Amino acid sequence: MISSVIAKFDCDERTRQQAIRQIAAQPALEVGELIDERNLPCTIETSSCEETEQITRWMLALDGVAIVDVVFVHFEKDDRESDVPSLRNRRNVPNPGSDTDSLTTR
């Protein structure tokens, strides 16, 4: 599973740099270039939705990080079927684009 997030900082330079070092040290994260001294794009590569959520929550808990925006998530077929309860248990979902009220199972 690959996700892209932007960590947004609301702190002084020293605190921001410390948070960036901690983020960069996380093996599942690839860190981009800081934008406008406030926004840090990152890519998260994990084997499950739960692991991605743990890393995102960990980032949010760092001093200086005000918010972590998730901007992209790529699910592998196996990830969708096994890790996401809302997708695993879907039944009778309306068919998007259909001009009738028919229901389909996905």
The pLDDT, as a whole number, for residue 78 is 59
DSSP symbols for 34-74: -BTTTEEEEEEE-SSHHHHHHHHHHHHHSTTEEEEEEEEEE
Q: Residue 72 corresponds to which amino acid? A: F
pTM of the model: 0.70
Query: Averaging pLDDT over each range in 21-25, 77-81, 86-90, which range is the top one?
Result: 21-25
CB 57 within 8 A of CB 70: no
How confident is the model over 64-79, as a mean pLDDT?
85
The pLDDT, as a whole number, for residue 75 is 79
- Domains by residue range for the chain, with CATH: 2-74 (3.30.70.260)
- What is the spatial distance between Cα 101 and Cα 106, in angstroms, rounded to a whole number? 16
- What is the spatial distance between Cα 93 and Cα 88, in angstroms, rounded to a whole number? 12
**Could you report the per-residue pLDDT of 7-62, keeping only the tens digit for each?**
999 999 999 999 999 999 999 999 999 999 999 999 999 999 999 999 999 999 99
